[in-house]
Amino acid sequence: MTTKQLVGSLSLILTGSSFAATGIFGSYINVTSTNFAGNTAVWYDAQVPVGFRASNPTDFNGFAFGTYNPSAGGALSLTGGEVLTFKGGSPDNIIGAKINYRIYAAGFPSGTYNQINIGFTADATFADAATTSYSSGGDQKWSSGVGTTDLLFGLSNGDYEIESYLEAETDTGTVFSNAGGANFKATFTVIPEPASAMLGVLGSVLLLRRRRI
């Protein structure tokens, strides 16, 4: 078992899913960034499924998405989510899945979570975002693009964290994919727009000029 799979197994235990008739055994977060993969959508591991995997996506948790200047074309977007669920039959049915996220200044967790629905995709047999096939009875995949959610919108210059967790709604309550309650966190930086930077320089020049006068 790899380290990532061990972490995924511990997460499953900590969330209580392994003791329930219904739960989540894997999840992924899809991000599109001008800094990676030619600005195409990429799947990142959130909760790593235990066992054999056909591929090994990059962990979302702890990933640094780099620096962005929106006015120069820099873009960072949340573009999808995937939840893999298991169920033991009625009344333990999965009735919906969601991805939740919030953005805040690095080191200062705050703010409410934005929540986006994830649509049902398939009953087993199916392939997940890592192209691994699952065929156990009761397994389901909830996976869809969630549109293009601009993660840079309205942000001033600075360092930020995006914190996320995924969930599935069942007949008897909500189950979570959330790294044992710590959630999945990645970082990025927004730098000055050229116009703003120029205004700052001009302001400094004018201030120095006034002091000399």
Range with the lowest mean pLDDT among 1-15, 71-85, 89-103, 189-203? Answer: 1-15
pLDDT of residue 203: 47
Provide the domain count of the chain: 1
- Mean of pLDDT over the chain: 86
Residue 101 has which token pair? 């996220």
C-beta pairs of 66-69 under 8 Å, 24+ apart in sequence: 66/33, 66/35, 66/36, 66/188, 66/189, 67/35, 67/188, 67/189, 67/190, 67/191, 68/34, 68/35, 68/152, 68/188, 68/189, 68/190, 68/191, 69/190, 69/191, 69/192, 69/193, 69/194
Provide the β-strand partners of residue 68.
190
Backbone angles phi, psi at 158, to 5 degrees: 150, -175
Count of residues in the chain:
213
Q: Is 19 helix (H, G, I), strand (E, B) or coil?
A: helix
What is the C-alpha separation between 166 and 85, in angstroms, rounded? 11
What is the C-alpha separation between 107 and 109, in angstroms, rounded? 6
- From the list 13, 7, 127, the residue with the least C-alpha distance to 60 is 7
pLDDT single digits (tens) 90-141: 667 899 999 999 999 999 999 999 999 999 999 999 999 999 999 999 999 9
Higher local confidence (pLDDT), 10 or 57: 57
pLDDT of residue 201: 42
pLDDT single digits (tens) 20-49: 589 999 999 999 999 999 999 999 999 999
Please check the confidence at residue 172 and state whether its pLDDT lies above 70: yes
Backbone angles phi, psi at 18, to 5 degrees: -70, -15
What is the C-alpha separation between 148 and 31, in angstroms, rounded? 9
Strand ranges (E), the chain:
23-33, 41-45, 64-68, 76-86, 94-105, 114-118, 120-123, 126-127, 133-134, 140-144, 149-150, 158-170, 173-177, 184-190
Q: Is 186 helix (H, G, I), strand (E, B) or coil?
A: strand
pLDDT of residue 196: 47
- From the list 197, 186, 184, the residue with the least C-alpha distance to 156 is 197
pLDDT of residue 89: 61
pLDDT of residue 202: 41
Q: Which domain holds residue 127?
A: 3-212
CATH number at residue 52: 2.70.50
The band of 197, judged by pLDDT with boundaries at 50, 70 and 90, is: very low
Positive or negative: CA dihedral 182, 123, 43, 4? positive
Q: What is the pTM assigned to this prediction?
A: 0.83
